Amino acid sequence: MSTLLPRAVREAGHRFTFLTRDLHHYLRPGGHEGVHPLLMADNVITAETNDLDMLLPQVQRLHEVLRFDGVVTSCDYYLGTVAGLAAHMGLPGVQPEAMERAYRKDLTRQRMQAAGLPGPAFAVSEDWLGAQAAARRLGFPLVIKPVDLCAGMFVRLVADETQLREAFDALDGFPVNARGQRRAPLVLLEEVLVGPEVSVETVTVDGVTTVLGVTDKSLAGHPWFVETGHMFPAALDAATVTAVCDMAVAALAAVGLDRGVAHTELRLTAAGPRVVEINPRPAGNQITELVRRVTGVDLPMVYTQLALGEQPDLTVTDTGVRSAAISFLLPPCAGSVAGIDGTAAVATAPGVVDWAVKPAGHRTGDAVSNNNYLGHVMVVDTAGPGARARAEKLVAGLAVRYAEDLAEALA
């Protein structure tokens, strides 16, 4: 989204100012060519974006000169900041309280429970003794989660108290997120939801939610919940699609999210669809590109329009694509990548519209979250729901070589 969002702003004929507390992050080489799109802003300003009390007067002074029409972010950790800025300056946006209820996993659970929506049994704790007592009350196995991290970080299935303590300590040892913010010192324990995972992509304007469709998700990395791929639209029967969409819309209403793009994840359990979490922003992992290729609706563009107070056009068009899918290459283990073989077959395969792999020298960690992908393949199918199988087959043909392997071979 950090590349798709500035592209959408420019393509809509707008200009933007970029605020960041760490300019060097965007000067480092990345997965894009040339200058990072965010640095193509009219103004690039360094500000302490982690302190809203300091940020509000600074942005207000900028507003008096530059006359902003909207404020937006592509980062989960600044959704609350953006909502606060928009409210302070009288610009379009989600009410800060509703935004917090949507992106904080514990608050989402509490609001859904209060609204009478079915969901897993859960408990929230801020210390080990509380987590231990809650786990004994709920019963194993359980899922343990941080309440305010993203990309599946530290989300883990635990089968007993020993694994729970290990997961609790790992999370406790990570007090600051990737943007230098102190995270809420809470853990969320949940009953395990069993069944395939999907997500519902929606746009809400003035309390009216439009569903663009359902995306299926594949997972790996037990006991972790790492996403290995997605296909849009999900190959589901009409009754299941209706049930899933109704549950997602009800969840958004429960947290009070009356404006914005949302990506709500659910499990298709034997008792019906159950919400995993709400993400009150466009989906990551290039799901928005899958949606665009099938429906013609550009969600980063819609997100931009909503931030400006505009009424987006959500008309679905026939693009000729019946399914679009992306599959990710996970690291077999941590280490330094010497190369990735099999890319020639990907480059010439029919239906491939985008692919990339990490270069030699890339250092990867273990496959414990969505942050450690080594590559991806995106495929479209103009005949039916075959995109996912094709994408997965191509990724299965990629082989990761590690520098350590090379060193051992030369020894």
**Distance linking the first and last C-alpha atoms of the chain:** 44
Among 36, 14, 33, 32, smallest CA distance to 23 is for 36
Element (H, E) at 338: strand 335-341
Query: Is 90 exceeded by the pLDDT of residue 408?
Result: no
Query: Is 50 exceeded by the pLDDT of residue 62?
Result: yes
Share of the chain above pLDDT 90, in %: 93
Torsion region of 131: left, alpha or beta (phi above 0 gives left; psi -120 to 50 gives alpha):
alpha
Among 214, 330, 224, smallest CA distance to 264 is for 214
- Per-residue confidence (pLDDT) for residue 34, from 0 to 100: 77
pLDDT digits (tens, 9 = 90+) for 6-51: 999 999 999 999 999 999 988 876 655 678 999 999 999 999 999 9
- Per-residue confidence (pLDDT) for residue 297, from 0 to 100: 98
The pLDDT of 169-198, averaged and rounded, is 96
CA 73 to CA 404: how far, in whole Å? 39
pLDDT digits (tens, 9 = 90+) for 143-154: 999 999 998 999
- Per-residue confidence (pLDDT) for residue 31, from 0 to 100: 56
- Per-residue confidence (pLDDT) for residue 221, from 0 to 100: 75
The pLDDT of 103-115, averaged and rounded, is 98
Least confident of 32-46, 270-284, 356-370: 32-46
Domains of the chain: 4-91 (3.40.50), 120-191 (3.30.1490.20), 194-319 (3.30.470.20), 320-411 (3.90.1170.50)
Query: Is 60 exceeded by the pLDDT of residue 309?
Result: yes
Among 311, 281, 304, smallest CA distance to 10 is for 304
Query: Is 50 exceeded by the pLDDT of residue 407?
Result: no
Contact in structure between 275 and 265 (CB atoms under 8 Å): yes
Identity at 127, one-letter amino acid code: D
C-alpha dihedral (91, 92, 96, 98), degrees to nearest 10: 170
Q: Which residue has the higher pLDDT, 364 or 406?
A: 364
pLDDT digits (tens, 9 = 90+) for 191-216: 999 999 999 999 999 999 999 999 99
Query: Is 60 exceeded by the pLDDT of residue 406?
Result: no
Contact in structure between 288 and 232 (CB atoms under 8 Å): no
- Per-residue confidence (pLDDT) for residue 410, from 0 to 100: 41
The residue length of the chain stands at 411
Whether the bond between 233 and the residue before it is cis, its omega within 30 degrees of 0, is: yes
Query: Is 70 exceeded by the pLDDT of residue 162?
Result: yes
The pLDDT of 100-129, averaged and rounded, is 98
